[in-house]
Chain A
Amino acid sequence: MPSLRPDQLKELYRLMAFTRRVDQEAVALQRQGELTAFPPLTGQEAAQVGSAYALQRQDFAFPSYREMGVAIVRGVDLVEYLRAYRGDWNGGLYDLYAHNFGPIASSVGSHALHAVGWAMGAALDGGGKAAIVYFGEGATSEGDVHEAMNFAGIFRAPVVFFVQNNQWAISVPVARQTAAPIHRKAEAYGFPGLRIDGNDVLAVHAATAEALERARAGGGPTLIEALTYRLGAHSTADDPTRYRQAAEVEPWRAQDPLLRLAAQIDDEDFTRQVVEEVEERVRDLRTRLLSAPRAEPEEMFEFVYAEPPATLAAQREELRQWHS
């Protein structure tokens, strides 16, 4: 794999710093009553940004509900992303095909099968594309993730299973999810699995780029277990002090992926400048988010079917009359 150029390292830093700052802003917005809930990703920026940075335009990313860093790299408008957490539309308002970034998936692990199916379809179309699916260590306990990996192995689907092992599935530690190392599960499905330092953005990028390239070239799937840590709560409704000690969290703060990348770049002027840039972008985002139109009740009847059946059309009309 070619190593990243200095300007690419800086681009990664910008993306990660923006991700971190938006993440903090989203938590603040929830506390202010502007978002209904939000699952913060602070601590996982290297895993998300580094892996997504390895994607090409034609590849497709299937996120869970905590992949805002991937959304940012894919160019998704964050107003359209965050309005899902504002309660305006389940799944998000962005165009999945404009960014090859799937809808926000809250049903843990179920989207792994969609990535495999998409990858099977891409292979049928002649290859040259890969899917990447994001989930956590908790999702590896789901039957759908097993079925997805088994299908991927058998059909040699061009897909990368990117597991962010952030140590905790809400309050349940990884030791209660699996008795075996996650990356070794790949062996049972007949494809490579590797464990990487998920807080080292260069390692994440290199491993993901290699796996994606192998997939695009017809070499089949890869499982990547990125070891990382969820520094915040599972969601704004969660209180991690009920299940983990501060002493456990502290060593991970020292492994903060932003600090590590900043140390590699070693350019204080640059990092200071990024902080200012990011502040301005987040101010703009906040303004646009809060001034975006809210969902109207009638919208809930849209997009259930291509053409609404008569019963549904009648129900929509009934609601319209209630509101007029």
Chain B
Amino acid sequence: MAQLTLVQALNEALRHELREDPRTLVFGEDVGRLGGVFRVTDGLQEEFGERRVFDTPLAESAIVGSAIGLALAGWRPVCEIQFDGFSYPALDQVITNLAKYRGRTRGRAALPVTIRIPSGGGIGGPEHHGESPETYYAHTAGLKVVAPSGPAEGYQLLRAAIRDPDPVIFLEPKSRYWTKEEVDAAAAGRLGQARIVREGTHATLIAWGAMTARCLQAAEAAAEDGVELEVVDCRSLVPLDVDTLSASVRKTGRAVVVHEAPLTAGFGAEISARLMETIFRDLKAPVLRVTGYDIPYPAAAVEAAYLPDLDRILTAVQKVLDY
């Protein structure tokens, strides 16, 4: 057990997997000598050499496309796309090839590729540095989509993602990079399981990534008024642990889904629909969503007004309680 930031925890997870499996590779822009713009790959090239940890040219489609080829040759690539908003040049390789290759080869070519993408807003970044692209990936069959909420989750889920036989899009919440937490370096993670991070009885807050911590803050605030909120961290959007979500909302009867991405066709819509399909009779109020607005991610000076905050979350909670 150690106190680690999310950056350090992810670095440890990469180090662990590079040590355990000599076929694991880490590459992307600035991940070598610099150790990544967020230092997630700090020291890895020194320890594992330039063959296994290397810088690529500035070309996202080629990072993913070459990862596909490396996987076909029996390697286990972990590549980094530097920021969410720059993952789109690689989207064609992800959708057209990475997600479909197992199928196109009738299961003969698995692509155990992990694509790490620092995601989400809240750090005062410039344009294209604050987006939440999870829906694009979740809508693409053949991919797994993982979004850790903090250091302990980040460590376990990244190790599980790298070991997974399918391609995994691993969305790292930038605004949580410097949060410290106890990390158990022996604990192995599993994909596809949500986690109850706070138990409660009146309503359930459902989130992933950075919004999990925001929901916990909201739950603490609500508790001061005698409202006990349960908080569920999805951890993985694909596969989605509908059972855990449904069980929680069946218990509380009310749910609010919180995410940074825009409302329309956001992943909250999927969760809301799943809850309605599975536990409609147990719902005491409509499932509400607190999300980013339907606008391009805004400039840094106003991003705080865009991101779901305690007021908006608690207002939604009040609505489902009053319904």
Of B64, B69, B97, B242, chain A has the most CB atoms within 10 Å of the CB of B69
Q: Interface segment, A87-95, A178-186, A233-241?
A: A87-95
**B142 interface residue per 8 A CB criterion:** yes
B104 touches A304 (CB 8 A): no
A143's nearest neighbour on chain B, judged by CB, is B61
Q: Does B124 make an interface contact (CB < 8 A)?
A: no
Q: How far is the CA of A103 from the CA of B104 in the complex (A)?
A: 7
| Cβ-neighbour of B242 out of A90, A107, A310 (below 8 A) | A310
What total of A-B pairs shows CB separation below 8 Å? 141
Q: Which of A150-191 contact B (CB under 8 A)?
A: 150-151, 154
Give chain A interface residues in 289-310, CB to chain B under 8 Å.
302-306, 309-310
A144 within 8 A of B: yes
Interface residue stretch chosen among A40-48, A114-122, A275-283? A114-122
B105 and A124 form a contact (CB under 8 A): no
CA distance A91 to B108 in the complex (A): 12
Given the known inter-chain contacts A110-B93, A114-B97, A309-B192, please indicate yes or no for A303 contacting B107, CB distance below 8 A: yes
Q: How far is the CA of A6 from the CA of B61 in the complex (A)?
A: 45
Chain-A contact segment, one of B70-78, B210-218, B281-289: B70-78
Chain A, interface size category, equals: 35 or more
Nearest-neighbor residue (CB-CB) of B101 within chain A: A103
The answer to whether A114 touches B69, judged by C-beta atoms less than 8 angstroms apart, is: yes
CB neighbours of A122 from chain B (8 A)? 73
Q: Mark B86-126, 1 if CB is under 8 A from A, else 0.
A: 00010011001100111111111110000000000000000
Asked if B56 is at the interface of the complex by the 8 Å CB criterion, the answer is yes
Nearest-Cβ distance from residue A107 to partner chain B, whole angstroms: 5
Q: What residue of chain A has the Cβ atom nearest to residue B56's Cβ?
A: A151
B141 sits at the interface (CB 8 A): yes
Chain B residue nearest to A93 (CB atoms) is: B106
A147 beta carbon closer than 8 Å to chain B:
yes
CB distance from A58 to the nearest CB of B (A): 11
For residue A96, CB closer than 8 A to chain B, the reply is: yes
Chain A contacts for B105, CB-based, 8 A: 91, 95-96, 103, 303
Decide: B97 and A110 in contact? CB cutoff 8 A.
Answer: yes
Q: Cα distance A148–B103 when bound, in Å?
A: 24
B266 to chain A, nearest CB (A): 18
* In contact, A116 and B65 (Cβ under 8 angstroms): yes
Q: Which residue of B lies closest to A300 (CB)?
A: B103
Q: Beta-carbon contacts of B141-172 to A below 8 Å, as 1s and 0s?
A: 11010000000000000000000111000000
B69 contacts A116, C-beta separation under 8 Å: yes
Q: Is A250 an interface residue (CB 8 A)?
A: no
Let me know if A311 and B242 touch, CB within 8 A.
yes
Which residues of B have CB within 8 Å of A267?
none
Q: How far is the CA of A151 from the CA of B144 in the complex (A)?
A: 27
